[in-house]
């Protein structure tokens, strides 16, 4: 640990070297590298959190840039976790950054969350919020919750097992998810960029307070902030009823976490046999979205290489093929690329992603 880097924190009365050591030892998972996650990540990295995990399966688009301040125009089309990790590592070379370029689901969240001490939820949909909350409650992981809507932001801390009184969870605030379309998201309702910046920074502050054991964190409370009036108030949260909180892994895996923010995906995930069939079609283009240094190298007569780092420019080009097949190493980046193409073309083209990627179907690619 560099004392000089953190000198202004260490000399602060009520903080000191012991608190700084707690930050260095901590492992924090930030879920969502968007408007809330970007400022939170920056301040957590600068403060010296020893290990920071980033979960996000999305790519950067032009509409992100007014609020997702880790990214620039040149980053459009790239994976958020990759760009964020690179910038944070440049900001602080003394910490560890772990990339999770995936969408959290029932079958992977418990494994990932179990590796960290504190979880910061910066997502923007109810499916993820309930999923994250229940996983944290099951694993006894403190959860820093942040959200924005219109000109207002909310901040709370849930699932703190070491608190003097039994800790509340997100379901005590909202027992059941709203119906699909009942509450608009930022894409529908709009957002001014500075608001998630403020709330995301406050979420980082609450995380630091929890880790360093300073001040009065928002445990069992929710803070509401109004950007237009600069007013804020805090409400105590009491234990509610009328909801089911899973108490075992089996119960968790049997929970229904329906996506309330988006309609059904428009792309199709395929296996290697379907890929072979599409290879024979003149109306299909097969796109390898891996970066140019990745192996194995695919036959350029069959596969067109468009790295995710250049995918934003590709979206501006037109091509005649009706069927578009996206391929990457693990089937993660190809999904992000498929979603971007689906958003642009809708039903005008058939979009496919190779499920599991080249790693799963490696033998097929070595033979082709």
CB atoms within 10 A of CB 196: 28
Domains in the chain (CATH in brackets) are 7-253 (3.40.50.720), 268-367 (3.40.250.10)
Q: Taking the model in full, what pTM does it have?
A: 0.71
Which tokens sit at 84? 């964020």
Structure tokens at 146: 């942040």
Sequential pLDDT tens for the chain (368 residues): 678 999 999 999 999 999 999 999 999 999 999 999 999 999 999 999 999 999 998 888 888 899 999 999 999 888 999 999 999 999 999 999 999 998 899 989 999 999 999 999 999 888 899 999 999 999 999 999 999 998 999 999 998 866 556 789 999 988 877 765 555 555 556 789 999 999 999 999 999 999 999 999 999 999 999 999 999 999 999 888 888 899 999 999 999 886 544 434 578 889 888 898 888 888 899 999 999 999 899 999 999 999 998 998 888 888 889 899 999 998 889 988 998 898 888 888 999 999 889 988 887 776 65
Interval 318-362: pLDDT, tens: 888 989 999 999 888 998 899 889 888 888 899 999 988 998 888
Angle at 131 between CA 165 and CA 31, to 5 degrees: 90
Count the helix, strand and coil residues of the chain and give each as a percent rounded to the nearest 5: 40, 20, 45
DSSP state of 243: -
In angstroms, rounded to a whole number, what is the distance separating the alpha carbons of residues 160 and 1? Answer: 28
């Amino acid at each position: 640990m560099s004392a000089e880097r953190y000198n202004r924190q260490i000399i602060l009365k009520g903080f000191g070297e012991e608190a700084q050591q707690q930050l260095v030892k901590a492992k924090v998972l930030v879920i969502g590298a968007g408007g809330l996650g970007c400022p939170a990540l920056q301040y957590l990295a600068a403060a010296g959190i020893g290990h920071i995990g980033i979960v996000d399966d999305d790519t950067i688009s032009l509409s992100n840039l007014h609020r997702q301040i880790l990214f620039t125009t040149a980053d459009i089309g790239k994976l958020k976790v990759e760009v964020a990790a690179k910038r944070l590592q440049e900001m602080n070379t003394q910490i560890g950054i772990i990339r999770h370029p995936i969408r959290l689901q029932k079958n992977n969240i418990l494994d990932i969350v179990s590796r960290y001490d504190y979880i910061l939820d910066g997502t923007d949909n109810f499916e993820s919020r309930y999923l994250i909350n229940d996983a944290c409650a099951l694993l006894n992981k403190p959860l820093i919750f942040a959200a924005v809507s219109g000109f207002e932001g909310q901040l709370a801390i849930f699932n703190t097992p070491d608190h003097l009184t039994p800790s509340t969870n997100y379901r005590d605030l909202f027992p059941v998810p709203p119906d699909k379309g009942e509450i608009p998201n930022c894409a529908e309702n709009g957002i001014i960029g500075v608001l998630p910046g403020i709330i995301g920074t406050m979420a980082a502050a609450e995380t630091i307070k929890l880790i360093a054991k300073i001040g009065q964190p928002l445990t069992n409370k929710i803070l509401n902030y109004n950007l237009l009036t600069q007013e804020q108030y805090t409400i105590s949260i009491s234990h509610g009823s009328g909801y089911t909180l899973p108490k075992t892994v089996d119960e968790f895996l049997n929970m229904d976490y329906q996506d309330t923010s988006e309609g059904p995906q428009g792309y199709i995930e395929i296996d290697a046999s379907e890929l072979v069939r599409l290879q024979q079609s003149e109306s299909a283009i097969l796109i390898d979205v891996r970066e140019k240094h990745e192996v194995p190298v695919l036959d350029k007569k069959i596969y067109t290489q468009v790295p995710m780092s250049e995918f934003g420019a590709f979206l501006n080009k037109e091509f005649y093929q009706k069927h578009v097949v996206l391929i990457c190493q693990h089937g993660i980046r190809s999904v992000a690329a498929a979603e971007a193409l689906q958003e642009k073309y809708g039903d005008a083209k058939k979009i496919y992603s190779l499920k599991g990627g080249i790693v799963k179907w490696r033998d097929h690619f070595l033979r082709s």
